[in-house]
């Protein structure tokens, strides 16, 4: 190990074309024997070896996996050379098929272009009423819990809100209880994904039945949209996809189903777990809630900025997409290190966001990092909860808007009192609270 290695940083000037330092296999064996989580091993590799480190997990088809956490290396992989580091087979392919999250090459580019206009600038305005409607529905439910003193699960509530928001945006209709129940299958399949075949393999048993339920919901929604029954807030994203099918033969019913399920999955699990973490973090840091509310009166820019900073600081602690896997498409030199074609590369925002070499006192919940100029590290590779480069999150503005609007409804007079809090986190496709989050409101 180089003596000048500092956590997360590159170890000083790197002579071009050097081998990536590898974590001692004895430490990997020790970790495996102890039944640890991959994040523990990655944290050890970052601490011992710095911001580009190799770890032999025994899973890479082409040698050890390269862990990337240094901001300049993160930018190299995701933003500067996305053609050299590509998505291979997406872990959620069984569920999302050829949707934009998993697609590659020209197909991805076409799919992304169509959706991009729906999620940026003026395209975003059409969601305002839908987001506000879903936030009002959630706030009414919370008012009921406050009246009755009933115990409810904060994580489950956040999931219902995020699902309702994206469903309204896709179909133009609020989420009805029957569809909500059926879409419970999405969470079950997502939970099973890490143990399922990533590519080509067919689902069996319970998972196959859940996938069939999801397909049934999707085809009902597609049929309803095709019949022209737009919801109270006008046509949804599904209508945009169906219109595209009129002129572009690649938009088959199958691809429309895949995009629908992709947006449902990408668009609610992430937001729901972020909002759940946010409530847990505020429970531990009540002063942060008070300061956000004191930043300005209801509806003011000051209040909105402060509430958004709560979301950003939560995403710094718990970026839902805690790893971004890529595969080296060709030989490359990454910040001086040699990378062979075929190498598995894992960018890990979670570790970048908690690196004491990059962030001051990273263990402290301090939303003002995102409001006070100069408090954030200058390198854009230091903070990437929504990814970077051409494959960055399509729903960034959507996610920030729905989170802020919901919190503006809930924060002023609804503070969950947790009956118990989960011990830690579950690191799966996303990083979620590792258990139930029962609470009451008073």
Which residues contact ligand HEM (rule: CB under 6 A)? 100-101, 112, 166, 262-263, 266-267, 270-271, 274, 315, 319-321, 324, 385-387, 391-395, 398-399
At 262 the three-state DSSP class reads: helix
Nearer to ligand HEM, 146 or 198 (CB): 198
417 backbone φψ class: left, alpha, beta (φ>0; ψ -120 to 50)? beta
Nearer to ligand HEM, 166 or 240 (CB): 166
| C-alpha closest to that of 305 among 324, 325, 291 | 291
- Phi, psi (5° rounding) for residue 68? -120, 115
DSSP annotation of 428:
S
Minimal distance, residue 108 CB to ligand HEM, in Å: 6
Minimal distance, residue 219 CB to ligand HEM, in Å: 21
Nearer to ligand HEM, 95 or 263 (CB): 263
Nearer to ligand HEM, 101 or 138 (CB): 101
Minimal distance, residue 302 CB to ligand HEM, in Å: 23
Apex 369 CA angle, 417 and 122, nearest 5: 90
Cα distance between residue 201 and residue 377, in whole Å: 43
Nearer to ligand HEM, 244 or 263 (CB): 263
User: Partners of 325 in the beta sheet?
Assistant: 346
Asked if 189 and 211 count as a contact pair (C-beta separation under 8 A), the reply is yes
Minimal distance, residue 268 CB to ligand HEM, in Å: 7
C-alpha Rg value of the chain to the nearest Å: 22
H or E segment at 153?
A: strand 152-153
Nearer to ligand HEM, 114 or 203 (CB): 114
Minimal distance, residue 244 CB to ligand HEM, in Å: 15
Cα distance between residue 124 and residue 402, in whole Å: 11
> Rounded to whole angstroms, what are the CA distances from 294 to 26, 154, 306, 366?
52, 24, 9, 15
Which tokens belong to 312?
């950003």
Minimal distance, residue 266 CB to ligand HEM, in Å: 4
Nearer to ligand HEM, 286 or 390 (CB): 390
Nearer to ligand HEM, 97 or 387 (CB): 387
User: Partners of 433 in the beta sheet?
Assistant: 425
Minimal distance, residue 35 CB to ligand HEM, in Å: 27
Minimal distance, residue 181 CB to ligand HEM, in Å: 22
Minimal distance, residue 332 CB to ligand HEM, in Å: 18
Nearer to ligand HEM, 400 or 441 (CB): 400
H or E segment at 328?
A: strand 324-328
Q: Any residues with CB less than 8 A from the CB of 172 and at least 6 apart, and which?
A: 130, 225, 230, 231, 232, 233, 234, 235, 236, 238, 239
Q: Which residue is nearest to ligand HEM (CB)?
A: 395
- Phi, psi (5° rounding) for residue 150? -65, 145
């Amino acid at each position: 190990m180089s003596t000048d290695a500092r956590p997360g940083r590159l170890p000083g000037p790197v002579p071009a074309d050097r081998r990536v330092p590898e974590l001692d296999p004895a430490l990997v064996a020790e970790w495996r024997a102890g039944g640890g989580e991959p994040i523990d091993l990655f944290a050890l590799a970052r601490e011992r070896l710095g911001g580009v480190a190799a770890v032999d997990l025994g899973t890479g088809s082409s040698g050890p996996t390269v862990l990337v956490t240094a901001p300049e290396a993160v930018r190299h992989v995701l933003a500067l050379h996305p053609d050299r580091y590509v998505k291979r087979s997406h872990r959620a392919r069984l569920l999302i098929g050829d949707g934009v999250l998993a697609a590659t090459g020209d197909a991805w580019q076409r799919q992304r272009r169509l959706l991009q206009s729906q999620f940026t600038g003026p395209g975003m305005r059409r969601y305002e009423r839908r987001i506000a409607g879903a936030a009002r529905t959630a706030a009414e439910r919370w008012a009921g819990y406050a009246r009755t003193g009933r115990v409810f699960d904060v994580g489950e509530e956040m999931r219902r809100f995020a699902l309702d928001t994206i469903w309204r945006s896709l179909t133009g209709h609020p989420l009805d209880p029957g569809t909500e129940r059926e879409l419970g299958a999405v969470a079950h399949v997502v939970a099973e994904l890490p143990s399922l075949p990533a590519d080509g393999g067919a689902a069996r048993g319970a998972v196959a039945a859940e996938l069939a339920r999801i397909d049934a919901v999707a085809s009902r929604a597609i049929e309803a949209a095709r019949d022209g029954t737009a919801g109270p807030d006008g046509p949804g994203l599904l209508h945009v996809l169906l219109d595209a099918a009129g002129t572009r033969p690649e938009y088959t019913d199958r691809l429309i189903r895949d995009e629908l399920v992709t947006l449902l999955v990408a668009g609610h699990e992430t937001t729901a777990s972020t909002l759940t973490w946010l409530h847990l973090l505020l429970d531990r840091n009540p002063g942060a809630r008070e300061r956000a509310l004191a930043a300005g009166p209801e509806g003011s820019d000051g209040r909105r900025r402060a509430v958004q900073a709560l979301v950003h600081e939560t995403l710094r602690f718990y970026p839902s997409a805690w790893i971004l896997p890529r595969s080296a498409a060709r030989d490359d030199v990454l910040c001086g290190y040699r990378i062979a074609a075929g190498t598995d590369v894992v960018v890990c925002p979670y570790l970048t966001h908690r690196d004491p070499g990059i962030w001051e006192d990273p263990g402290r919940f301090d939303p003002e990092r995102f409001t006070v100029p100069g408090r954030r590290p200058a390198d854009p590779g230091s903070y990437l909860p929504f990814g970077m480069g051409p494959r960055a999150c399509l729903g960034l503005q959507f996610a920030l808007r729905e989170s802020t609007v919901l919190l503006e409804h809930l924060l002023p007079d609804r503070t969950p009192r947790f009956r118990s809090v989960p011990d830690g986190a579950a690191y799966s496709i996303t990083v979620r609270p590792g258990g139930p989050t029962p609470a009451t409101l008073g």
